[in-house]
Amino acid sequence: MITPEDVRRIAAIESPVLRNLEITYAYSRLAAALGAQGANWCAFATWASRQAGRTIRGEDAIGYVEQRLKVQRAWLHPFAALGRRLLRHGLFDPQSRIGRLTARLHTPFDALERASDAVARGNRKVFEEIGYEFARYLRTDLDPFLAGLRDGDPPDGQRLLRSAFTRYANDPSPQQMLLANLEIGLHEQTRLQPEIREAMDAAYTTKEDLGRRLCPNRRPRVRRAVATLAMPAQRTLDAIARELITHSLMVLTLPGRVLALGAPLDEPVPEALRELTDAELAALFERFGGDVRDWSDLDQRMCYIARLFRAFHLHPELFDAPFTPAHVEQLLAGRIPDGDL
């Protein structure tokens, strides 16, 4: 079982790649320990964290090229293998030699590195806060657990967590379970708002920063001339970077299927959740109704998450292991596993 001490240890791992892998594995163990008739929040968090790992490792570029240019996966395999080899040598580790070199190389694709860093920080933040509370909940009686809840940020976070864990403890009906998942999801997404906004805006930030680096301490006339010459290439690369970042943040891979976040869900709703008879649950769905056009908008993001939690509530495959036993053995030994993660 995952303990609060395990959460602290995992959150302290410096390598964002290894940390994410351990977070994903820990969520799957927490989900299994919680059990329940339907999917709990940790079951969904397992696959969201696994998807975040693709962005953190920079693997979204391979999927983007495959989809955008219709390149077969077999042709991209050598690039994916090379990427994993570089990661094992510390590509995203600022303490390693290759990591320091990467940090010094500035290109318009710095946006991908910035997005990766924002996603990694958000992944750790949520696990450090919410994963820690799940680990405490599994080892503590309800009353002392609730008394030990830390103040939330924003302040409403503690109320949401207190309400959600109380529902978990009371053998909830499917609607109460869904409500508890959404209360935790709302707290999670509120806490993630800065990192999601930062990741979505990474291409714009990089464009401004790159312009300053191209012409440091130059006369205005020289800066304008260089900017004019670089503009066509910069505009193209900036558009590619924005599209790639949006692609990486708007996809969720669940066992057996890939969801385009924001697109309508074609999954049927379980019978117990078709008519929302719980007043609080119905109020949440009314609050988060409407279309999903901007993933950086909290309410629109919650609109999709509410539909996702509702439609996949009774999908047992969400409790599947996210990694093979061989993968787990390698990551627990402090190595980035071989193969597809």
Mean pLDDT over 50-57 rounds to 89
Q: Which pLDDT score is estimated for 191?
A: 94
* Average pLDDT of span 331-339: 88
Tokens of 17: 């790649």
Our count of domains for the chain comes to: 1
Whole-number pLDDT of residue 114: 82
Query: Which range has the worst mean pLDDT, 90-94, 309-313, 320-324?
Result: 90-94
Q: Note whether residue 111 is domain-resident.
A: yes
User: Is 60 exceeded by the pLDDT of residue 67?
Assistant: no
* More confident position, 47 or 72: 47
Residue 20 is assigned to a structural domain of this protein: yes
How does the average pLDDT of the chain come out, rounded?
82
Q: Alpha-carbon distance 276 to 264, whole Å?
A: 20
Structure-token match 């999917």, residue found? 39
Predicted pLDDT at 290: 81
pLDDT tens-digit profile of 71-87?
555 555 565 566 656 65
**pLDDT the model gives residue 92:** 57
Domain-embedded: residue 23: yes
90: confidence class by pLDDT, cuts 50, 70, 90: low
Q: Which domain holds residue 302?
A: 4-332
Q: What are the E-state strand segments in 192-325? A: 251-254, 257-260
Determine if the pTM surpasses 0.75.
yes
Greatest alpha-carbon span in the chain? 70
C-alpha 216/C-alpha 196 separation (Å) is 30
Predicted pLDDT of residue 25: 98
The dihedral formed by the CA atoms of 122, 127, 128 and 133, expressed in degrees to the nearest 10 = 140
Residue 339 falls inside a structural domain: no
Tell me, yes or no, whether 124 lies in a domain.
yes
Per the document, the length of the chain is 341
pLDDT tens string 96-127: 666 666 666 555 556 777 888 899 999 999 99
Q: What is the mean pLDDT of residues 50-77?
A: 66
Residue 282 has pLDDT above 90, yes or no: yes
In a domain, 340, yes or no: no
Helix axes 41-56, 110-126, angle to 10 degrees: 150
Residue 237 inside a domain? The answer is yes
Amino acid at 201: D
Is residue 147's pLDDT more than 60? yes
Percentage of the residues of the chain whose pLDDT score is greater than 70: 70
Tell me if 271 is assigned to some domain: yes
